[in-house]
Structure formats: C-alpha cells, structure tokens
Amino acid sequence: MKNRQRVELNLTPLIDIIFILFTFFLVATVFKKEETALNIKLPKTKYFDTSKENDKILKIFIKGNIVGINNETFTLKKFANILRHKRHSTVELRIDRKTTFETISLVLDVLKENNFNDIIFVTDKK
C-alpha cells in the first residue's frame, strides 16, 4: 500500500486576500451622507446642477410646507427666524418636485429679506 500524504489547505493567504479586497471596496466606495431628514426627490432636467462641497454654501431643503437646513426641519415661520442668524454667501436650494410654487416663493421671500441673493437650484440629470 502506498503512503498517501494528506493535503492541507492553507487558509492564511485566503484570509489576507479577503481582507485586502474588503479594504479596497471600503476605500473605493463613495459614502453618501444623509443631509436631511426630508426625503427629497429633485426634479429632473436636461441641464442640471449638482451639489458643491463648500462651507460657505447654505443648503436648504424644501418639501411641502417643511423647510430643512442640514438635519433639522422647520416650519416656514421658524425658518425665517433661524435664517436671520445665518451668514453665508451662497444658498443651495433642493426642492422636492411636488412642492407648490407658493411655498417656494415664500422661501425665496425670506431669503431675499435676509440678503441671500446668490441662490442655486439643484436638480438631477434627466
């Protein structure tokens, strides 16, 4: 009878490869941070404007009669009071596609009253 050698599979290199792949996918993945508690569905346009990462940009979210700044949501009255204390050069508006024009015009009035004149409307690509 022949003596058979037992073949063992060395798992150490396999674990190393899995760890390297995990690290690669972790680094390569773009994490989308949740900017607001509102679930905004932006209108789709042929010529769209994307968000810009800048500390001088104030990001405002509008859905229905609710207005949000970052992770905080406000009614329109409270929004007017909060905006008086903000000082930014540019405002980025993200408006839900089903929001009425009346709400949008009220927010624009509040922005103009507080001297926010540089306003960007953010949309998605069609």
Domain membership of residue 82 (yes or no) is yes
Domain membership of residue 68 (yes or no) is yes
Domain membership of residue 83 (yes or no) is yes
Crossing angle of helices 101-113 and 76-83, rounded to 10°:
20
Largest CA distance in the chain: 96
Specify the number of domains making up the chain: 1
Contact between 121 and 88 under an 8 Å Cβ cutoff? The reply is: no
Residue carrying the six token digits 């346009």? 45
CATH code at 87? 3.30.420.270
Domain membership of residue 30 (yes or no) is no
Percent of the chain that is helix, strand, coil (3-state, to 5): 30, 20, 50
User: What tens digit of pLDDT does each residue of 33-49 get?
Assistant: 544 556 778 888 777 66
Domain membership of residue 105 (yes or no) is yes
pLDDT at residue 46, as a whole number = 79
Single pTM value for the model: 0.62
DSSP letter for each residue of 5-69: PPP----HHHHHHHHHHHHHHHHHSPP-----SS---PPEESS-------TTEEEEEEETTEEEE
pLDDT at residue 34, as a whole number = 47
Domain membership of residue 15 (yes or no) is no
Range of the domain at 103: 44-125
**With pLDDT > 70 as the criterion, what percentage of the chain qualifies?**
85
Domain membership of residue 94 (yes or no) is yes
User: What tens digit of pLDDT does each residue of 79-107 get?
Assistant: 888 888 787 778 888 899 899 999 999 99
